[in-house]
């Protein structure tokens, strides 16, 4: 399998790679900083995901080096600006949208023609409960994650006839370094939750499923049910 992953230098992305590398796969990583991963079956591409001109150049290289075949896309890279909406400026909203949504939209649209030709593919969005239910001081992040999740649901209905399956996999609260790399205005959040290695195993177990929304923890599934059926509250 040829697998493209964004955001794999640490946290859940790194643990997902650790699981996938147990099999004979070829990897193409889009990273915002240098990686210590060294392997003959791993190709890394340093890129600012918010710079679409730069990203397009890296995508072109991956198309050539993968011989126009990417079997799985895992959209894992994400960032967030957290704070009261009156204190978050428009550029912060735009930056979150560029990284969390538009960069992945560009990646997906770039490889879909080849997936259709090959009549095979899985597009995986590492989703967030914040994209289901808007959380306090999380407007910018929640909006960008929600956009991505709705995109995945929409294209699922378009792509199944090509044997291509898009899906949102919701890890739920997971212990990673996500909170350390984000921008916080007026408050700070400490991430608690399940071990990233444990969640990565659940993600891999569901990687080839044909369902649209997959939940690794009951808490996030509960939020989804309440959003879908508000009378359950």
Domain boundaries, the chain: 2-232
Phi and psi dihedrals of 157, rounded to 5?
-70, -20
Checking if the pLDDT of 82 tops 80, the result is yes
CB neighbours of 222 closer than 8 A, spacing ≥ 6? none
Highest-pLDDT range among 122-126, 183-187, 216-220: 122-126
pLDDT, one tens digit per residue, over 6-27 is 998 888 999 999 999 988 899 9
Checking if the pLDDT of 32 tops 70, the result is yes
The pLDDT, as a whole number, for residue 9 is 84
pLDDT, one tens digit per residue, over 126-159 is 999 888 888 888 899 999 999 999 999 999 999 9
Question: Under the phi-then-psi rule, with left for phi > 0, alpha for psi from -120 to 50, and beta for the rest, what region is 163?
Answer: left
Q: Between the CA atoms of 65, 68, 73 and 76, what dihedral angle is there, to the nearest 10 degrees?
A: 40
Cα distances (Å, whole numbers) of residue 156 to 48, 213, 233: 27, 10, 29
The pLDDT, as a whole number, for residue 225 is 62
**How many residues are recorded in the chain?**
233
Nearest partner of 29 among 46, 16, 51, judged by Cα? 46
Q: What's the whole-number mean pLDDT along residues 117-130?
A: 95
Stated as kind and residue range, the H or E segment containing 167 is strand 164-170
The CATH number assigned to the domain with range 2-232 reads: 3.40.50.720
């Amino acid at each position: 399998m040829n697998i493209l992953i964004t955001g794999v230098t640490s946290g859940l992305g790194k643990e997902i790679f650790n699981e996938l590398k147990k099999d004979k796969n070829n990897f193409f990583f889009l990273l915002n900083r240098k990686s210590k991963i060294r392997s003959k079956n791993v190709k890394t591409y340093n890129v600012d995901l918010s710079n679409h001109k730069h990203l397009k150049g890296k995508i072109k290289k991956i198309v050539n080096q993968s011989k126009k075949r990417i079997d799985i896309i895992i959209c894992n890279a994400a960032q967030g600006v957290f704070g009261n909406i009156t204190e978050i400026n428009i550029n912060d909203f735009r930056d979150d949208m560029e990284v969390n949504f538009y960069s992945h939209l560009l990646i997906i649209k770039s490889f879909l023609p080849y997936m259709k030709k090959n009549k095979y593919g899985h597009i995986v969005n590492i989703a967030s409960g914040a994209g289901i239910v808007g959380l306090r001081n999380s407007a910018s992040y929640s909006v960008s994650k929600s956009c991505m999740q709705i995109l995945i649901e929409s294209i699922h209905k378009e792509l199944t006839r090509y044997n291509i399956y898009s899906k949102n996999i919701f890890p739920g609260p997971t212990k990673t370094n996500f909170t350390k790399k984000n921008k916080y205005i007026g408050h700070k959040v400490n991430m608690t939750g399940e071990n990233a290695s444990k969640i990565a195993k659940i993600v891999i177990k569901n990687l080839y499923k044909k369902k649209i929304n997959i939940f690794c923890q009951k808490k996030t599934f509960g939020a989804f049910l309440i959003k879908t059926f508000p009378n359950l509250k």
